[in-house]
Amino acid sequence: MYLSRIEVNPRRRQTMLALSSPQIMHAALESSFPNTAGETKRNLWRVDQLNQSLYVLLQSRQKPDFTHIVEQFGWPAAEQTWETKEYDAFLARLKDGQTWRFRLRANPVHSVKEKDAPGRGRVLGHITVEQQKQWLSGRATANGFNLDNSAGFDVVQRETKKFTRSGKPVTLSVAAFEGVLLIENVETFVQSLLAGIGRAKAYGCGLMTLARL
């Protein structure tokens, strides 16, 4: 596994378009790898803002080539580079009982069952901070971690994205979580890191990253 980061230029028209319509960024990132027919890709990505800079993070099974990302969304005249680190050794060092600072950009949703309607019902986004925090708390154990600690966690950014896909409108409720977690089941936790948490992974949600306290 690899974890890569590249800064993008928010002043470029292509970047603004890709940020407002995340399927554009998804398609560009998927083009960072050789076209291997029949291979299932499980790449996760998100956009982070640090001070006045915007970065795209990508977790992937293959090492990406971001040359075209630089050309479309970066600073090609400056011969821009990017960072890529091997991720497997870090994952192998995770153990039960460890505490880590985390960041997660996710799509907190719930299903509303309509009377006499088949299936699970309509999928709606959680709107309030409290609802969004409860959504993550309710999924912690199933994903191998615990959020019941004195350091706590919070929603640090929220937004609703509206765009079209295949001619149909899409509304996406997005929340960025930051805080401290405790690993309770490291096998389950690592699988959650690799698979992503929640829905809308193609739209830049689900990627959780860790940092030391």
pLDDT tens profile 50-104 = 888 999 999 999 999 999 999 999 999 988 999 999 999 999 999 999 999 999 9
- Residues 35, 134 within the same domain: no
pLDDT band at 117; cut points 50, 70, 90: low
**Residue 148: predicted pLDDT:** 80
**Residue 112: predicted pLDDT:** 75
**Domain with 61 in it:** 2-86
- Residues 182, 99 within the same domain: yes
- Residues 126, 202 within the same domain: yes
Predicted TM-score of the model (pTM): 0.91
- Residues 44, 114 within the same domain: no
- Residues 99, 77 within the same domain: no
CATH code, domain with 32: 3.30.70.1200
**Residue 166: predicted pLDDT:** 81
Tokens of 188: 């389950």
**Average pLDDT estimate for 146-154:** 86
- Residues 132, 56 within the same domain: no
Q: Are 108 and 136 in contact (CB under 8 A)?
A: yes
Position with higher pLDDT, 123 vs 213: 213
- Residues 40, 133 within the same domain: no
CATH code, domain with 124: 3.30.70.1210
The four Cα atoms 50, 147, 42, 49 give a dihedral, to 10 degrees, of -10
Q: What share of the chain is helix, strand, coil (3-state, %, to 5)?
A: 30, 35, 35
Q: Given a cut of 60, is residue 40 above it in pLDDT?
A: no
**Residue 39: predicted pLDDT:** 57
- Residues 111, 182 within the same domain: yes
**Residue 118: predicted pLDDT:** 65
Long-range contacts (CB closer than 8 Å, 24 or more residues apart) made by 151-160: 151/99, 151/179, 151/180, 152/179, 152/180, 153/102, 153/177, 153/178, 153/179, 153/180, 153/181, 154/129, 154/178, 154/179, 155/129, 157/49, 158/129, 158/132, 160/125
- Residues 106, 59 within the same domain: no
Q: Which residues pair with 125 in a beta bridge?
A: 109
Total domains, the chain: 2
Domain boundary among 68, 86, 104: 86
Domain boundary among 19, 54, 86: 86
Summary mean pLDDT of the chain: 91
